[in-house]
Amino acid sequence: MSAAVQQNSLPFAGLSNRGMRRLSELVREYSGICIGDDKHQLVANRLRRRVKELGIDSFDAYGDYVRSDASGRELEMLVDLMSTNHTAFFREREHFTVLFNQLAPKLRASLPAGVPLRVWSAAASSGEEPYTLALLAAEEQRRDSTLRWQLQASDISRRMLEVANRGIYALPSEAVVSTELLRRYFERGVGPQDGRCRLRREVRDSVRFQRINLLDARYPILDRQHVIFCRNVMIYFDVPTRRVVVERLLSHLAPGGFLIVGYSESLGGLAPGLVSVSHGVYTRL
Ligand SMILES: C[S@@+](CC[C@H](N)C(=O)[O-])C[C@H]1O[C@@H](n2cnc3c(N)ncnc32)[C@H](O)[C@@H]1O
């Protein structure tokens, strides 16, 4: 194969190497998500439907379309299609146990009585992570009504935020969400909704969702948070981006507060004074 052909080769129909690079640049610049050069197939698979829907005849032309859309909506759509939104109730369960059994009592010891513990779930995807917090907070309140939580959650994806606000999910198994929690806080779907469930209104209302891009220079988070969950998103960012995002998140953390990342993520060396207190749980000294 000649060099010229190799350069313009189409590893996936309609998505040239150059087109692939331009699309990944758009995604990285806007969201921080890095897409490997070898992910032609994945990119094409995720974009095919959208490209067809728009009546555009190639992936490369779609890149031009994204760039020319002054509203920025198509760029949001592209990022949405490229993101991994996988999440689950009680995902990486140990973090919830550590929070409720160890971190919360410690944080409360230095707070005036009745002041709520503020937790922000950044990159919350479809909402299962903050709703897990809401379920546990509601349980705690049944035992002691003076213990309060203020929960907020965010994600870059408007589509995911819509799902989160609806609070309708496939019914989780009892191995994941206990029978008691299912009974108290979920409404089971019937008829055509069999196998689905909806979180009860009081649970849905206890979490405030808003759209936040972690790459934005400012986050619309007013009060300093006692705990920030930012799990399984920075894994898609390069190291310089992680560093910037971690510093920004820390600027919203109350003194003595905790930043929690995914099991497979590490913040080692990303911010001065940051120490690990347990698996994926950090505080700033
Ligand atoms: C794999 S999910 C993680 C969900 C949840 N935190 C968990 O661990 O189960 C990653 C989420 O990060 C979001 N995301 C990606 N880039 C983002 C950014 N720059 N700002 C905010 N959210 C982002 C995606 O939309 C996606 O919903």
- Nearest-5° angle of CA 220, CA 224, CA 226? 125
C-beta of 84 in contact with ligand 1 (< 6 A): yes
C-beta of 132 in contact with ligand 1 (< 6 A): no
Ligand 1 atom 26: the closest Cα is on which residue?
A: 85
Ligand 1 centroid – CA 11 distance (Å): 29
pLDDT digits (tens, 9 = 90+) for 182-208: 999 999 999 999 999 999 999 999 999
Which residues participate in catalysis according to the annotation?
A: 46, 155
C-beta of 126 in contact with ligand 1 (< 6 A): no
Ligand 1 centroid – CA 86 distance (Å): 9
pLDDT digits (tens, 9 = 90+) for 22-47: 999 999 999 999 999 889 889 999 99
Ligand 1 centroid – CA 235 distance (Å): 10
Q: Coil, strand, or helix at residue 192? A: helix
In terms of pTM, does the model score above 0.85? yes
pLDDT digits (tens, 9 = 90+) for 225-270: 999 999 999 999 999 999 999 999 999 999 999 999 999 999 999 9
Going along the chain, which residue ranges are E strands? 117-121, 149-155, 168-170, 186-188, 196-199, 207-211, 225-229, 253-260, 274-278, 281-284
Domains in the chain, please, with CATH?
A: 3-82 (1.10.155.10), 94-284 (3.40.50.150)
